[in-house]
Chains A and B, each alone.
Chain A
Amino acid sequence: MNFIKTNLKYITVYGLAFIILYVVVWPMWSGGGLALFSFETIKDKEARSVTATNDFNNAETLKQKAEAMQKAYNSLDPSATTTINQAVPVDHDTPRLINDLSDLISKASNGSEESARMSQTRFDKYDPNREIKGSSGTFQIAFSVKGSYSTIKEAVKMLETNRRIFNITQLSLQPKDSYLELSITMNAFYLKDGDAKSGSAGAGAGSLLNSPVMKEISLLAGQNVDFNIIKSNIEKLNKMSYNPVFVPAQGSAIRPNPFINKQ
């Protein structure tokens, strides 16, 4: 007791210092020592701050990218969206497709004596196995056309260069009575909803960038949006025209219809 009395001031000073360090400073810093309350330590706050700083920087970068993309989008020709929507619509749009095909066949027979007729249009269900890698939804159309050789040739040309793009995969031509019958199988394309969502998200789990719009930008950033390619593809669509790879030599004899006997 005498020792305490004699050294009370030392015990008080050192004791207070110890208590402050052990019960206040250390627990606040890293959760060590004697924590009387549960609270966020400085280490936790630093970790949260690092995440927030990274997210803040990412958000700034994404904002700049989004602004640049919006600027580039605004600089597109106003008809660009219509053009590309006609080529690759955002859904199957089969009623319009059938109507357009029917019109196309009618146009092909313009000027000829007989009128071509389209029959047996068949739409296969979307088959993932027929999907073109990483891009669009694909579905198959099969139909037959009866008409003269010139009409059928014109119809095939028009299908090749149609604004809504078709990829002819099978073609069969056979004389039937006084006409030719053409059977065509071709792929048509549309933008699957999932296609536009593909890409890698920039925000990690538990990130502060989980707001829908920031996720959207992260997805866009992962898609490598290149407006030069977009412009180039739209230009190709606008320039799409009949362009034969094989051109017979000038002056060479031409059989107007090699499916009927010349002699």
Chain B
Amino acid sequence: MPTFVPSNVYEERTKKVLPSDLVLNIGIIILVISILSAGGVYAYGRYLDNKTDQQIASIDSNAAYLSKLNLKAIRTINGQSQALSDIFNSHAYPSNIFNLLESRTNDQVTWNKMDMTKKDTGTTILNLSGSASSNGVIVQQVDALKSATDIVKAVTLIKSGMNDQSLNIDFDLEVQLNPTISASSITK
């Protein structure tokens, strides 16, 4: 193609201008990227703000909805039920002692005092003070109580001695009861 520019001048200008434009172009690209990234960061920030606001609004809306539920009543009945579970586990049925004494008291023994104590460990101790016609009767009485293995764990003679007035033998027994006294169908 015919030209009025001498070929050597064209080549010289091309050599000088092209590298400079490239640097400028790169600069412009960086500038554009900077502007875009500034916009992007701002937009991302707005997006995060909106998302968080929506979530907070949703939590508030849930709270408003849930405040209509009867949560206090649920909390109360649950607390009562938990208390019941514990109470059932430690509930004792000492009326069994009456059945024991009615069926396992020797005809020649009379009880003068009965004390039942339920210890914190769950063991129940029955202290019996009685009066018997002879030492042999006391042996029979201890054996009779021991035979009630459903309820009696151990029987210990604490003391015995002649009563000068009645001429009977007064004696004290310690009866260790099985934990079954605390058991019943309602706790099982």
> Is B59's CB under 8 angstroms from A25's CB?
no
> Is B84's CB under 8 angstroms from A245's CB?
no
Are A14 and B27 CB-contacts (below 8 A) given A70-B69, A244-B93, A245-B96? yes
Q: Which residues of A contact B135 (CB under 8 A)?
A: none
> Is B111's CB under 8 angstroms from A259's CB?
yes
| Residue B156 at the chain A interface, CB threshold 8 Å | no
> Is A85's CB under 8 angstroms from B74's CB?
no
B interface, size bucket: 35 or more
* The residue from A42, A239, A246 contacting B148, defined by CB atoms under 8 A apart: A246
Task: Tell me, in angstroms, the Cα distance from A255 to B112 when the chains sit together.
Answer: 15
Q: Which residues of A contact B49 (CB under 8 A)?
A: 45
Task: Tell me, in angstroms, the Cα distance from A25 to B138 when the chains sit together.
Answer: 100
Interface size on A, residues (CB 8 A): 103
Interface string of B146-188 (1 = CB under 8 A from A): 0010110000000000000000000000000000110111110
Residues of chain A from 23 to 50 with CB closer than 8 A to chain B in the complex: 24-25, 28-29, 40, 42, 45-46, 48-49
Total contacts A to B, CB within 8 angstroms? 292
> Is B66's CB under 8 angstroms from A10's CB?
no
Task: Tell me, in angstroms, the Cα distance from A207 to B120 when the chains sit together.
Answer: 43
Q: Which residues of A contact B98 (CB under 8 A)?
A: 153, 156
| Residue A191 at the chain B interface, CB threshold 8 Å | yes
| Stretch in A109-117, A120-128, A139-147, A212-220 touching the partner | A212-220
Task: Tell me, in angstroms, the Cα distance from A260 to B109 when the chains sit together.
Answer: 9
Interface string of A203-235 (1 = CB under 8 A from B): 000001101111011011001010001100110
| Residue B113 at the chain A interface, CB threshold 8 Å | yes
Q: Looking at the assembled complex, report how far the CB atom of B78 sits from the nearest CB atom of chain A, in whole angstroms.
A: 5
Q: Looking at the assembled complex, report how far the CB atom of A218 sits from the nearest CB atom of chain B, in whole angstroms.
A: 11
* The residue from A195, A214, A236, A253 contacting B79, defined by CB atoms under 8 A apart: A195
* The residue from B41, B72, B107, B112 contacting A174, defined by CB atoms under 8 A apart: B112
> Is B52's CB under 8 angstroms from A52's CB?
yes
Are A254 and B103 CB-contacts (below 8 A) given A191-B76, A245-B93? yes
Task: Tell me, in angstroms, the Cα distance from A239 to B170 when the chains sit together.
Answer: 43
* The residue from B41, B73, B86, B110 contacting A25, defined by CB atoms under 8 A apart: B41
Q: Chain B interface (Cβ within 8 Å of chain A)?
A: 23-24, 27-28, 30-31, 33-35, 37-38, 41-42, 44-45, 48-49, 51-52, 55-56, 58-60, 62-67, 69-88, 90-105, 107-118, 148, 150-151, 180-181, 183-187
List 8 A-B residue pairs with CB atoms under 8 Å apart, sorted by A's residue number: A14-B30, A42-B45, A208-B56, A223-B75, A244-B99, A245-B151, A255-B107, A259-B111
With A62-B62, A216-B75 already in contact, 8 other A-B pairs whose C-beta atoms are closer than 8 Å = A59-B62, A63-B65, A69-B71, A167-B87, A195-B79, A195-B82, A254-B102, A263-B108
Which A-B residue pairs are the 9 nearest by beta carbons?
Answer: A136-B83, A248-B103, A13-B27, A196-B79, A20-B34, A258-B105, A135-B83, A56-B55, A45-B48
